[in-house]
Amino acid sequence: MIEKPEYTGIPHSVLIRYVSGKNEIPLWTEGKTALWTWVPSLYTRSPKSEDQLIASGYQRLSLAPPNVDAIYLASQLYDIVMAYNENNHVEMWAQTSDIERVKNNPVTLLFPLDPIAQQQWTQPKYWQVLSLTEDNQAKQETLSASRENMIPMLQYLPLPNIGEYGLVFSTKEPTLYHISQMPDQMQKLWLNIGKKLRDLAAPGGWHNHNDLGPLCKDEKFFHNLMNSGPIEDALRTKLTETHQHITDLRKSWQKDNWLSQWKEISNMVQELAEAYQKQAQQSMINKPVPNIAHIFNMDVAEIYTASPFQAYPAAAIARGTGWQEEPAEKETDLIISYARRKPSGTTYVQIREEIKDKAREAILANMWEQTKKLSDLDADVYLAMVAQMLKGIKDEEGNTWISAQQILDYRGILPKTNKDETGHTWDGGHRWKDIEEIATCIKRMENTWIKIQEQQIIDDDAPTKNKRKRPRKTISRESRLFMFGDVIYHNQLPLDDKPGRSIPIAWQYRQ
């Protein structure tokens, strides 16, 4: 649904000074320069009805604070739609798959503003000209109201230095990283993003949206205005300048490959956001594993028995059989599914991937290979994680922790025993081979979804007089198998000319 922007007399995007905490304190760099983020503005493309958006795979986002998902989506350049609804309230819509993706990649990409540009962008407005328009004054007073923390922009594209900073929320305390702290490959990617944004914006640049924009959007109206009577030299100069900025902006949209270039830039920015997330994960290396409650009592643990929870173990034990490729709503998505049909409804286990930097055939081949590697170990790991989620210690967001060692203990896998020259023995911990097998199983869960189609469940809210035959309702849902948060790694030192490795040993997750 991505479309080229269209100038209708209102800003295409807004720069927002990033604030954090209950007191809305601006986030500053070490040099005491405020950090900003970018969001698209209203009506930057043709409006779509609610039915059209839902049919295209979009869902409505809540804009009530804290609207963190909206901030992640906007700053990572995902395709979002913002418009007024029939009640004149602002709504944001985004692809369901993109919303789920940023939940696993909670990063806000930020950038500082050049002090000179910032000063120019916050100059006084030209209110005296608004009387020449018929109905723009009320709208412009709302849109152009001077706000210290907001700058309306004529240009739709974000500034070329977007992502100079990444604020990562996957750890308990948000962590701010600068691009200089990233690997060389990511620094080169960031520089390339800036170059591509400048090329795509040419011959235009980045200018804040002022009150003269609506007077310059229509060529005939603009020329009639300039020739209608005496205009102060300063105002004439500013009108001519604003008209040229709009002309250059429209020329930039005439590029035949504008949309494909924008999509390429969006993918690169999302890759950079994922790199910031990985950088935060790396900071978890060799951190102590939190206390994890042992939830088995006399070798027994509670677990959900509803049909949807049985689907993944069934798919794992099937060992690659019963899977088939399914059509996806987006051309860039790939889905293969395993269906578990029961009288109460059908549950699908789905492996989903997005086509980005690899060929479709190669990605699909990897997905099929993933189904073949599933085994009863994957089923055991999943059941252990469900049991831990049910009875383990949770934080205020519903996250719990589990470790590879805990899962091996639950499966009855004994740690290795060490013995010295005197015959003294001691517990040497679980074998790294066993730990890595658990980590591999959990890695396979990251791109796995559960989809429930017309499943019958007991409706606890419906009134009934018959306790033996409780009323039922039919639901359809889809979600990731688990939502993963922090990961703790063990950093193995180089040994016998072999490089060191970082091995995941504990995972934070929720459902």
Neighbours of 98 (CB within 10 A): 22
| φ, ψ at 26 (rounded to 5°) | -60, 145
Q: Output the six-digit token pair for 141.
A: 């007073």
Neighbours of 402 (CB within 10 A): 24
Q: Rounded to an integer, what distance in angstroms lies between the CA atom of residue 295 and that of residue 298?
A: 10
Are 112 and 35 contacting, i.e. CB atoms less than 8 angstroms apart?
yes
pLDDT of res. 110: 92
Give how far Cα 144 sits from Cα of 14, 60, 150, 152, 196, Å: 11, 27, 10, 7, 29
* Spatial CA neighbour of 77 closest among 238, 222, 269, 245: 269
DSSP, residue by residue, 289-349? PPP-----BTTB-----SHHHHHHHHHHHTTTTTEEEE--SSTTEEEEEEEEEETTEEEEE
Q: Rounded to an integer, what distance in angstroms lies between the CA atom of residue 191 and that of residue 286?
A: 32
Percent of the chain with pLDDT over 70: 77
DSSP, residue by residue, 372-413? HH--HHHHHHHHHHHHHHHHS---TTS-EEEEHHHHHHHTTP
- pLDDT tens-digit profile, the chain (511 residues): 567 888 888 888 889 888 765 445 566 665 567 889 998 875 545 566 777 778 878 888 766 555 678 888 999 999 888 766 667 677 788 888 888 888 888 899 999 887 666 666 655 444 333 333 334 444 444 444 445 678 889 999 999 999 999 988 876 667 888 888 888 899 999 999 999 999 999 999 999 888 888 888 888 898 888 888 788 888 888 899 999 999 999 999 999 899 999 999 999 999 999 999 888 877 777 677 788 888 888 778 888 878 888 999 999 998 888 999 998 888 889 999 999 988 878 899 999 998 877 888 999 999 999 999 999 999 999 999 999 998 888 888 889 999 999 999 899 888 877 666 666 666 667 888 899 999 999 999 999 999 988 776 666 666 666 666 666 667 778 889 999 988 888 866 544 455 556 788 899 999 8
pTM of the predicted model over 0.75: no
415-445 tens-digit pLDDT: 877 666 666 666 667 888 899 999 999 999 9
268-289 tens-digit pLDDT: 999 999 999 888 877 777 677 7
* Spatial CA neighbour of 325 closest among 372, 373, 356, 365: 365
Task: Give strand pairing partners of 415.
Answer: none
29-66 tens-digit pLDDT: 655 678 899 988 755 455 667 777 788 788 887 665 55
